[in-house]
Chains A and B, each alone.
Chain A
Amino acid sequence: MTRMARRLVHLVDDDPGVRTALASMLATWDFDVAAHESAEAFLDALAAGASGCVVADVRMPGMGGLELQRELARRGATLPVILITGHGDVPMAVAAIKAGAQDFIEKPVDDDALAAAIRRALAIAEEAEGAKAAREALRQRHARLTAREAQVMGLVVAGHSNASIAAQLGLSQRTVEHYRAQVMMKMEAPSLAALVKLAAALGE
């Protein structure tokens, strides 16, 4: 995680005046702003595994902020979305929050509130990204196991003793002990309890 990615804000607004102004203002809060003139343009430019958060106007020609948020969810993108609106009414705010919007800010935008919302969103995004990365690393470790080792790991985690595993697989107990040591090493598990936890995380 670079510092830059942590502070990246995707600003989506069709009004060039508002877009320029918000970009300039957010820059003074030390955010890195990537401005887009429409939701469609933003989605086109969106790379897989993009990070940061999205600040989008609700009312835009073509795809509006609410639809953009739904589209992001549909694509499995984890970017938190903050919506800005000129006429914030309660039903729209409720709909936005229900659809998973991180926050809902009214125009004219209070920059303190917006900055706070962005920081919260980025923290959440970072946390989500961290969890995602950890799961990926674990999967890679598991992939290093041979077929036999994976088989043995499954039985160990299920609570079988070495003798039981040996009988089931038609191996000697020594061989089972060897596989078991390999599993503990490759999975970087310091104890049997830790291995069980890792297996549970893998299964998610």
Chain B
Amino acid sequence: MAIPAHVRRVITLAPNITELVYAIGAGDRVVGTDDVSNYPPAAARLPKVGSMQPNVEQITALKPDLVLASTEGNHPSLAPALAAVGIPLYVVRTDRLPEIATAMTRLGEVLDAPAAPAAARTLTADIAAQRRTRAHAPRILFAVWTDPLYVGGHETFVDDLLVLTGARNAVEVTGWPQYSLESLAAHPPDLILYPRKSVNAQQMAVLLEKAGDLHVPSRAIDEDVFTRPGPRVGEAAKGLNAILDGK
């Protein structure tokens, strides 16, 4: 379906897309978001249309000109469903760090947001400012869940952040697989990061005990900032650098 020239009402289906739209100055045009979008605070107050399986009825009721989704969203049935009610869908690729600035620019074109190019340049500069090299690159493990242990491996957004800030990913796997407890015990990382809303310190302690009483420091991080490929990535990198410097 063709995208209209003037997009006045937008629905965003991923939290990072929501943040990107606001960051390029088009936030006032967002009329609905997915359940998880909670930043900026204004977006948190908008009507919600579901998360894993967006509710097409609710989307339609909000009369959007355009629906924005990310490639991570896995909505194979969404495009035809929306096309059936005459609503165009635009999918933005934002899986990896270098793609964020590009996504900003693209969104700027689609939404005709004049602030977009500048925002993209600022973002790129912010990212570049956080680039570090460290003499002894610390080995970081990002744990998504502890029972069983799921990690962020290579070729992920989290990995990009680690590489940027001069750290190294402690695991040798790709994607977001379940990780072997033996490998954790045999190659303990220097630091474990975990999302504070999904995992608590007690669960982390249980994991470390099961791995043979590993004494590895762990830090809870705000997953809304650290795992969303969005405009706050500079803040995420800065926070990560602070953790790594303070260590």
Q: Are A and B associated in one complex? A: no
**A residues neighboring B (CB under 8 Å):** none
Q: Which residues in B have some Cβ–Cβ distance to A below 8 Å?
A: none
